[in-house]
């Protein structure tokens, strides 16, 4: 009515907000470019510069690119005003990567500022300088950081520590050592603030270099409570890793509890007094889920991916924690001091610190002390939904591993209506996982309230949780079922009124819970089934109906009453069939069929109902139903109950088909894990534990006691990794399964080993191998059985790789052989039999014997004036660019005169360009873009080559095509000689080490058009065999000889990784059919995996027929590679 009043009010409110905005930078944000910025930047007043910079910041904030002001802004670095400096730094960091050349202009000013008396100026200069991520200035930054690490000001030293990860991110190998040295120095700093930042730097720069920690472990522990909170988080993690790597796990801790129950290793060091005590106390508690804890602790140490992939096949026990890898928390001072210094942190104000400290106690603390983490963790629950979720995720694992820990505090997991759905669902899961007889009644009371919650999804989850509780505590089963039944009846009220999925979900969950409870003990719940069946008429939700109908079929012969009801029920089902939903229809068909199979009386009625239903179903609109009907019709009608039409045509015994029918109709014999809980565990507090996959940068705990006293001076993490590899093969479980009675064959194989042994060990000369008590240091062949071996072998499964000799004497092998000859079941196909009875072997030393093939680049006779140039493809991977292939070039002077100035260049390139300059260019650009990669990275030229002298160079070449040769120019003595470099597609790949399981998994994902096969003949082994026959070796070795010659041939011609060799353990020792070699690789340029499988057919002594299969996403490449492999396999080896 009075619009003008409204307008006034509007302006008034605007005016009032304006008042608040006076004096802020609001006007700069609103109209950043209402004045021209450039002259302001050049102004001689700091205030005007400031204003200009603020306007630029406003533009950046609004997403406008203002990098064109860069030169003018950079000039202002020299300003004395700190505000100007700060603003310039903000601008600079934002655009430095975009304008690297101009950014270089500022370096001088930074270096001047680094000498400034004001520590703030020094710190800012260092931070900004390190923040400009340019490779060129990295050396300068390193010097600056080194200088600032000795600065008198704590703040500057802290900034120096913070600058180290920035430097490390540039990935310049040559600086790695210097960076680590500075980290070590800063860790030793006396100021807690610096130590915290240094710890963070350590964690991101050199997390493996735990010897740095060893030097001042005690000091770090003592300083820990005073370190600032963010540094504490990093430092706690480092200290935990160090203690585990140097002292191993703690005997009294949860992580040890399993090892003491079953493992023979721990019994070995039984005399320890502490040990017996612990065992006693764990038995008394009886609260730990041992298998679960074991899984958790293994996942912590190995990382779940590794652990799970390994445990999926038989050598589950190959990694065994030995008694020596444990220490006592009571006697070990290092452990004690860590626990002592982390315990006050449980009171920290920072929730991340609390969780990190709780993690240390969880892993290291004696069992009886673990409970001190409970209250702090529960306290964390009173915070934002996000952190609540994170904490709950961690509590979930703790509670699952040790239910007694949190069970008394169940009230803390009761749900508030204001929480997010995810938090509620997690709390429900935790509640149902540790409910005990004493707490269950109050928990159920809560659950009853939750069912009425307006969030129906949550209510449905509650019902599922009730089902879980009832399964855990069978005492409660009856009460639960009654409650659920009442609920399902109550919900019928709402069934029709389209409240949609949510109410339906509740009903379905209720029935599902009832179903799972019944499954545990069907006879005692007979009445429940009857009640459910009676309510069938009122249940309208298809999924729920289908489940009830399933129960009818499943328990059709249970008790007295149900069989008598069947007649009516089936008639009812037949009557309402047409109006049912799809899943119900399918279930009705199944159920009727099941009843028919199991029925003893009333057969005629059932048959009639069945044929009526099948007729109906065959005309159904849905093809699934039609298919099911046709299938079921064939099944019983032809054999099990002779209806008459097709009688007698089948020659299989009736009984067998009866079994088949039973199997098909889903008598669930296998127990399916219904728990949604994941079996992947990551360290407490880590991101990976929340997302349940290994997040980038996640590292499992180090192997216990992997830090040896003697590697104090090892610089890089490589030694650690090497050691890990050694640990794997070193701690294998030998001996327990070997049978000494069969000494004869064992010694025979020993002699064979000593022949092969001369080629040397491929896996290092660690002392671990000598501890085997076997005089050959390196087993040539390792055999382990394949995971999907038939079930009856599980009892005697050989664990871990073992010596062939030992395996030969093993009963397991005999049982394989026996089983193979004995089994004559025609039902199993030949293919699967081959798979069942095969062993996996690996060749220990084949890598050493690989000799890459040499090609001639320049022949001394024809055009080379006496210079002989040969090249071979190297298995090295270029560190500069993934497009480059490394080639080893050998120069030899065959003439009688000195040849000087030899160099190899790209034919097209300009020779005038200085080689060194170019190399620097390449260095810079290789990260930037792949287009800039040159055809040939210039090699270091050979100044002069004396007669008969040889020289070797590595050149890195980028081939433009897989098959076409590359034209290069060779300069020597000032003359230009054109040469051609022929590519070898076998070296356009790099080895991609992987597990067999991973290999097979990957292979299965590349079917059809990504799979190419070719076959070819292979003869190389014959010569080998003849040679070996002369040495009067055993017949069985033919396999070995074939494997070796085949693997050697392939590895000498292509840069692959040998994944596995599957060897048939067949009755016929002369038949090599079924021998299978797997190789893996990744294409250099794209890192696409490329998998090669070679299967052998034919007799050992004859030429073999190989079928080669390549699985690769890149079709053209894969085909070319396949052809190449086939070609080189055919051509004879030059010896």
Partner 1 sequence: MPPLMGIEFLCRVSDVLSDYLGGLNEDVIKDNFVIVYELLDEMIDNGFPLTTEPNILREMIAPPNIVSKVLSVVTGNSSNVSDTLPGATGSCIPWRAADPKYANNEVYVDLVEEMDAVINRDGALVKCEVYGEVRVNSHLSGLPDLTLSFANPSILDDVRFHPCVRFRPWESHQILSFVPPDGEFKLMSYRVKKLKSTPIYVKPQLSSDAGKCRVNVLVGIRNDHGKTIDSITLQFQLPPCILSADLTSNTGTVNILGNKTCSWSIGRIPKDKTPSLSGTLVLESELERLHVFPTFRVGFKIMGVALSGLQIDKLDLKTAPSRLYKGFRALTRAGEFEVRS
The residues in 913-952 that bind partner 1, with binding defined as CB under 8 A, are none
Instruction: Report the residue number, 60 or 574, with the smaller CB distance to partner 1.
Output: 60
Q: Compute φ and ψ for 60, nearest 5 degrees.
A: -60, -45
> What part of residues 496-555 is at the interface with partner 1 (CB under 8 A)?
496-499
The packing angle between helices 1037-1053 and 1020-1030, to 10°, is 140
CA 956/CA 530 separation, integer angstroms: 78
Q: Is 446 near partner 1 (CB under 8 A)?
A: yes
378 makes contact with partner 1 (CB under 8 A): yes
SS (H, E, C) 299-320: HHHHCHHHHHHHHCCCCHHHCC
Binding of residue 7 to partner 1 (CB under 8 A): no
CA distance 970 to 907: 9
User: Which pair of structure tokens corresponds to residue 85?
Assistant: 């400096």
Distance, in Å, from the CA atom of 438 to the CA atom of 286, rounded to the nearest integer, reads 17
Nearest approach, Cβ of residue 166 and partner 1 (Å)? 5
Site residues (CB under 8 A) for partner 1, limited to 15-34: 17, 20-26, 28-29
Please tell me the distance from the alpha carbon of residue 394 to that of residue 286, in angstroms, as a whole number: 22
The two tokens of residue 783 are 């055999």
- Cα distances (angstroms) measured from residue 12 to each of 6, 9, 15, 18, 378: 10, 5, 5, 10, 50
> Position of tokens 């160079």?
953
Distant-in-sequence, close-in-space partners of 603: CB < 8 Å, separation ≥ 6: 596, 641
Taking CB under 8 A as the criterion, the residue among 116, 272, 306, 453 binding partner 1 is: 453
Q: Is 373 in the site for partner 1 (CB under 8 A)?
A: no
349 binds partner 1 (CB under 8 A): yes
Assess 76 for contact with partner 1 (CB under 8 A). Answer: no
The answer to the question of residue 352 lying near partner 1 (CB under 8 A) is yes
Selected binder of partner 1 within 82, 652, 721, 964 (CB under 8 A): 82
Question: Which is closer to partner 1, CB of 527 or CB of 693?
Answer: 693
Pair 329, 335: CB distance under 8 Å: yes
Q: Return phi, psi of residue 401, to 5°.
A: -75, -35
> Residues near 784 by Cβ (< 8 Å), separated by ≥ 6?
314, 315, 798, 800, 801, 802, 839, 840
89 binds partner 1 (CB under 8 A): yes
Helix/strand/coil for 1061:
strand
> What is the C-alpha separation between 901 and 999, in angstroms, rounded?
48
**Using the rule CB under 8 A, is 58 a contact of partner 1?**
yes
Residue 168 CB, nearest approach to partner 1 (Å): 10
Count of residues near partner 1 by CB under 8 A = 97
Binding mask 224-263 vs partner 1 (x if CB under 8 A, - otherwise)? -xx-xxx--x------------------------------
For partner 1, the closer CB: 200 or 512:
200
Helix 421-434 to helix 456-472 angle (10° resolution) is 10
Question: For residues 461-500, which are near partner 1 according to CB under 8 A?
Answer: 490-491, 493-494, 496-499
Q: Report the relative pairing of strands 966-972 and 975-981 from DSSP bridges.
A: antiparallel
State the nearest-atom distance from the C-beta of 300 to partner 1, in Å: 15
Q: Which stretch binds partner 1 (CB under 8 A): 147-155, 308-316, 819-827, 1035-1043?
A: 147-155
Q: From residue 652 to residue 691, what is the string marking binding to partner 1 with x (rule CB under 8 A)?
A: ---------------------------------xxx--x-
- Report if residue 312 touches partner 1, rule: CB under 8 A: no
Residue placing its CB nearer to partner 1 in the complex, 14 or 960: 14
**Cα 723 to Cα 211: distance, rounded to the nearest angstrom:** 14
Q: Which is nearer to partner 1, 123 or 260 (CB)?
A: 123
Residues 391-420 that bind partner 1 (CB under 8 A): 391, 411, 414, 416-418
d(CA 1040, CA 844) in angstroms, rounded, equals 12
Per-residue H/E/C for 116-139: CCCHHHHHHHHHHHHHCCCCCCHH
Residue pair 28/62 in contact (Cβ under 8 Å)? The answer is no
Per CB under 8 A, which of residues 707..746 are in contact with partner 1?
Answer: none
Interacting span for partner 1 (CB under 8 A) from 220-228, 315-323, 510-518, 647-655: 220-228
Q: Closest CB to partner 1 among 420 and 879?
A: 420
Longest CA–CA span in the chain (Å) reads 115
Of 137 and 314, nearer to partner 1 (C-beta) is 137
Q: Does 449 bind partner 1 (CB under 8 A)?
A: yes
Residues numbered 176-205 forming contacts with partner 1, rule: CB under 8 A? 191-193, 197, 200
Rounded Cα distance between 515 and 471, Å, is: 11
Site for partner 1 in 562-621 (CB under 8 A): none
Out of 14, 445, 670, 671, the only residue in the binding site for partner 1 (CB under 8 A) is: 445
Q: How far is the CB of 23 from partner 1 (least distance, A)?
A: 3
- Taking the least distance from each CB to partner 1, the nearer of 352 and 1022 is 352
Q: How many CB atoms lie within 10 A of CB 460?
A: 22
Nearest distance, CB of residue 155 and partner 1, angstroms: 4
- The strand pair at 249-250 and 326-327 is best described as parallel
Span from 115-123, 266-274, 523-531, 563-571 in contact with partner 1 (CB under 8 A): 115-123
Q: Does 1132 bind partner 1 (CB under 8 A)?
A: no
Which residues lie below 8 Å from residue 464, measured CB to CB, with a gap of 6+? 509, 512, 513
Taking CB under 8 A as the rule, does residue 699 contact partner 1?
A: no
Helix axes 351-364, 385-401, angle to 10 degrees: 10
Q: Is 119 in the site for partner 1 (CB under 8 A)?
A: yes
Nearer to partner 1, 493 or 712 (CB): 493
We find the least distance from the C-beta atom of residue 338 to partner 1, in angstroms, to be: 15
**Which of residues 67, 216, 387, 1133 is near partner 1 by CB under 8 A?**
387
Cβ-based burial of 817 (10 A; exposed 0-12, middle 13-18, buried ≥19): middle
Q: Which of 105, 140, 154, 170 binds partner 1 (CB under 8 A)?
A: 154
Q: Which of 998, 552, 509, 583 is nearest to 787 (CA)?
A: 998
Mark the segment that binds partner 1 (CB under 8 A) among 162-170, 274-282, 612-620, 660-668. 162-170
Q: By CB under 8 A, is residue 207 in contact with partner 1?
A: no
Q: Does 1102 bind partner 1 (CB under 8 A)?
A: no
The residue count for the chain: 1135
348 in contact with partner 1 (CB under 8 A): yes
DSSP 366: B
In the complex, what is the shortest distance from the CB of residue 158 to partner 1, in angstroms, rounded to a whole number? 8
Q: Out of 170, 172, 188, 379, which residue is the one contacting partner 1 (CB under 8 A)?
A: 379
In sign, the C-alpha dihedral spanning 263, 265, 266, 267 is positive
- With contacts defined by CB under 8 A, name the span among 180-188, 448-456, 752-760, 979-987 that binds partner 1: 448-456
Tokens 């545990």 found at: 520
Judged by CB under 8 A, the residue of 67, 78, 79, 83 near partner 1 is: 83
41 is an interface residue for partner 1 by CB under 8 A? no
Closest approach, Cβ 90 to partner 1, in A, equals 6
819 binds partner 1 (CB under 8 A): no
Identify the sign of the CA torsion 280, 281, 285, 290: negative
Taking alpha carbons only, the member of 405, 409, 452 closest to residue 427 is 409
Of 385-393, 571-579, 632-640, 1043-1051, which part binds partner 1 (CB under 8 A)?
385-393
Residues 994-1033 that bind partner 1 (CB under 8 A): none
Which residues, 6+ apart, have CB-to-CB distance to 963 below 8 Å? 983, 985, 1120
Least Cβ distance, residue 508 to partner 1 (angstroms): 16
């Amino acid at each position: 009515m009075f619009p003008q009043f409204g307008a006034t009010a509007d302006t008034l409110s605007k005016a009032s907000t304006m008042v608040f905005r006076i004096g802020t930078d609001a006007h700069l944000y609103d109209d950043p470019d209402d004045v021209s910025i450039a002259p302001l930047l050049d102004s001689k007043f700091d205030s005007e510069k400031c204003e200009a910079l603020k306007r630029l910041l406003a533009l950046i904030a609004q997403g406008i690119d203002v990098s064109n002001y860069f030169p003018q802004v950079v000039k202002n670095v020299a300003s004395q005003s700190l505000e100007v400096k700060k603003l310039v730094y903000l601008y600079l960091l934002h655009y430095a990567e975009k304008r690297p050349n101009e950014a270089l202009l500022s370096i001088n000013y930074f270096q001047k500022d680094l000498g400034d008396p004001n520590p703030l100026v020094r710190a800012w200069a260092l931070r900004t300088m390190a923040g400009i991520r340019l490779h060129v200035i990295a050396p300068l930054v390193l010097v600056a950081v080194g200088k600032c690490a000795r600065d008198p000001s704590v703040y500057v030293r802290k900034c120096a520590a913070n600058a180290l990860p920035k430097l490390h991110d540039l990935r310049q190998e040559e600086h790695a050592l210097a960076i680590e040295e500075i980290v070590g120095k800063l860790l030793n700093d006396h100021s807690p603030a610096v130590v915290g930042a240094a710890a963070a730097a350590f964690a991101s720069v050199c997390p493996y270099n735990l010897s740095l920690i060893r030097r001042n472990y005690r000091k770090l522990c003592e300083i820990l409570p005073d370190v600032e909170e963010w540094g504490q988080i990093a430092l706690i993690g480092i200290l935990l890793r160090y203690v585990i790597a140097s002292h191993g796990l703690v005997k009294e801790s949860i992580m040890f509890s399993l090892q003491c129950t079953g493992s023979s290793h721990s019994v070995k060091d039984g005399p320890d007094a502490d040990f017996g005590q612990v065992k006693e106390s764990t038995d008394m508690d009886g609260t730990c889920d041992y298998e679960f804890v074991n899984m958790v602790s293994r996942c912590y140490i190995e990382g779940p991916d590794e652990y799970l992939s390994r445990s999926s096949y038989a050598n589950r026990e190959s990694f065994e924690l030995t008694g020596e890898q444990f220490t006592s928390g009571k006697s070990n001072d290092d452990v004690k001091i860590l626990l002592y210094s982390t315990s006050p942190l449980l009171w920290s104000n920072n929730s991340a610190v609390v969780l990190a400290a709780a993690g240390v106690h969880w892993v290291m603390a004696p069992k009886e002390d673990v409970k001190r983490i409970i209250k702090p963790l529960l306290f964390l629950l009173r915070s934002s939904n996000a952190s609540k979720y994170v904490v709950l995720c961690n509590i979930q694992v703790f509670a699952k591993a040790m239910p007694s820990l949190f069970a008394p505090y169940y009230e803390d997991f009761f749900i508030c209506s204001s929480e997010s759905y995810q938090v509620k669902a997690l709390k429900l899961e935790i509640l149902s996982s540790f409910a005990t007889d004493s707490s269950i009644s109050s928990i159920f009371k809560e659950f009853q309230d939750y069912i009425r919650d307006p969030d129906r999804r949550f209510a449905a989850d509650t019902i599922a949780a009730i089902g879980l509780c009832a399964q855990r505590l069978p005492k409660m089963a009856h009460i639960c079922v009654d409650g659920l039944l009442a609920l399902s009846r109550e919900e019928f009220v709402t069934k029709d009124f389209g409240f949609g999925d949510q109410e339906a979900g509740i009903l379905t969950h209720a029935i599902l819970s009832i179903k799972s409870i019944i499954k545990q003990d069907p006879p005692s719940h007979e009445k429940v089934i009857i009640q459910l069946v009676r309510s069938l008429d009122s249940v309208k939700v298809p999924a729920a109906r289908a489940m009830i109908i399933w129960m009818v079929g499943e328990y059709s012969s249970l008790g007295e009453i149900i069989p008598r009801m069947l007649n009516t029920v089936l008639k009812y089902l037949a009557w309402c069939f047409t109006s049912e939903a799809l899943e119900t229809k399918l279930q009705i068909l199944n159920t009727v069929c099941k009843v028919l199979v199991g029925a003893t009386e009333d057969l005629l009625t059932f048959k009639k109902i069945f044929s009526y239903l099948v007729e109906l179903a065959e005309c159904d609109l849905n093809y699934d139903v039609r298919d099911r009907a046709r299938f079921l019709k064939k099944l019983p009608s032809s054999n099990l109950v002779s209806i008459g039409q097709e009688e007698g045509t089948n020659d299989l015994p009736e009984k067998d088909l009866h079994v088949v029918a039973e199997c098909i109709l889903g008598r669930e014999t296998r127990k399916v894990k219904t728990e949604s809980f994941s079996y992947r565990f990551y360290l407490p507090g880590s991101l990976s534990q929340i997302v349940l996959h290994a997040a980038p940068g996640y590292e499992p705990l180090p192997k216990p006691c992997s830090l040896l006293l003697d590697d104090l001076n090892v610089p890089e993490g490589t030694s650690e990794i090497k050691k890990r590899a050694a640990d794997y093969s070193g701690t294998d479980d030998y001996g327990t399964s070997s049978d000494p009675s069969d000494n004869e064959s064992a010694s025979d194989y020993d002699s064979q080993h000593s022949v092969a042994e001369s080629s040397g060990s491929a896996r290092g000369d660690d002392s671990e191998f000598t501890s085997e008590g076997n005089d050959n240091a390196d087993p040539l062949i390792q055999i382990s059985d394949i995971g999907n071996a038939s079930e009856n072998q599980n009892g005697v499964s050989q664990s871990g790789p073992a010596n062939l000799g030992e395996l030969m004497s093993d009963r397991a092998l005999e049982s394989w052989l026996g089983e193979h000859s004995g089994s004559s079941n025609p039902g199993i196909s030949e293919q699967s039999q081959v798979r069942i009875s095969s062993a996996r072997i690996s060749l220990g030393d084949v890598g050493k014997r690989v000799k890459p093939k040499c090609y001639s680049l320049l022949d001394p006779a024809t055009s080379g004036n006496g210079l002989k140039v040969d090249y071979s493809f190297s298995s090295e991977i270029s560190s500069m660019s993934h497009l480059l292939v490394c080639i080893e070039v050998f120069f030899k002077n065959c003439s009688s005169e000195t040849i000087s100035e030899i160099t190899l260049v790209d034919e097209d390139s300009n020779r005038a360009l200085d080689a060194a300059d170019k190399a620097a260019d390449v260095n810079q650009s290789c990260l930037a873009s792949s287009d800039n990669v040159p055809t040939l990275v210039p090699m270091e030229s050979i100044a002069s080559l004396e007669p008969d002298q040889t020289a070797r160079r590595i050149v890195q070449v980028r081939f433009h095509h897989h098959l076409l040769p590359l034209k290069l120019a060779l300069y020597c003595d000032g003359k230009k000689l054109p040469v051609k470099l022929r590519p070898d597609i076998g070296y356009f790949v790099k080895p991609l080490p992987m597990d067999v399981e991973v290999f097979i998994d990957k292979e299965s994902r590349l079917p059809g058009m990504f799979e190419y096969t070719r076959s070819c003949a292979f003869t190389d082994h014959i010569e080998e065999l003849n040679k070996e026959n002369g040495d009067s070796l055993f017949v069985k070795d033919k396999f070995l000889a074939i494997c070796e010659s085949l693997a050697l041939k392939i590895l000498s011609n292509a840069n692959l990784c040998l994944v596995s060799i599957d060897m048939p353990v067949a009755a016929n020792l002369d038949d090599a059919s079924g021998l299978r070699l797997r190789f893996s690789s990744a294409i250099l340029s794209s890192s696409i995996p490329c998998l090669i499988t070679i299967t052998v057919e034919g007799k050992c002594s004859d030429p073999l027929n190989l079928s080669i299969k390549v699985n690769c996403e890149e079709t053209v490449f894969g085909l070319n590679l396949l052809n190449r492999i086939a070609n080189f396999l055919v051509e004879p080896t030059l010896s």
